[in-house]
Amino acid sequence: MNTSKIALILFFNTIGSTERPDVAASKLLEGKVLLIVDGSPRVLTIPHLFIEEFEVNEDYYNHFFWFASFNRIVRILCFLLSTSIPAMYIAFFYLPSTIITLTSDCEYSC
């Protein structure tokens, strides 16, 4: 098996876990597979998607759907900004000027 595929699989969580019965029931209704062990309060849910990391239980219990959706969109935008702004800062301000070289055409045409 290709090692790059294994590294990609292990980088993100593929198995979620919960101790709340309402979350387990909602995951079951969404079509997920539940692993329940006798004597353990924890339930494992398979598959676990990356977008589920942005979901909070209060999103389902708010009476205003638009408010919960707005909060989830803000969480996703803040994640994208917090991962991209440091990279852009380093790319624009810490790159040495020797990496970006501008050649003039005067060498060849003059």
Q: What is the pLDDT of residues 9-48, one digit of tens each?
A: 567 778 888 888 888 888 899 899 999 988 888 999 998 8
Q: How confident is the model at residue 3 (pLDDT cuts 50, 70, 90)?
A: low
* Residue pair 27/34 in contact by the 8 Å Cβ criterion: yes
Residues facing 74 on adjacent strands? none
The domain limits of the chain are 1-48, 50-81
Write down the pLDDT at residue 53: 82
On the 0-12 / 13-18 / 19+ scale of CB atoms within 10 A, 27 is buried
Q: What is the pLDDT of residues 58-93, one digit of tens each?
A: 777 777 778 888 888 999 999 999 999 998 888 777
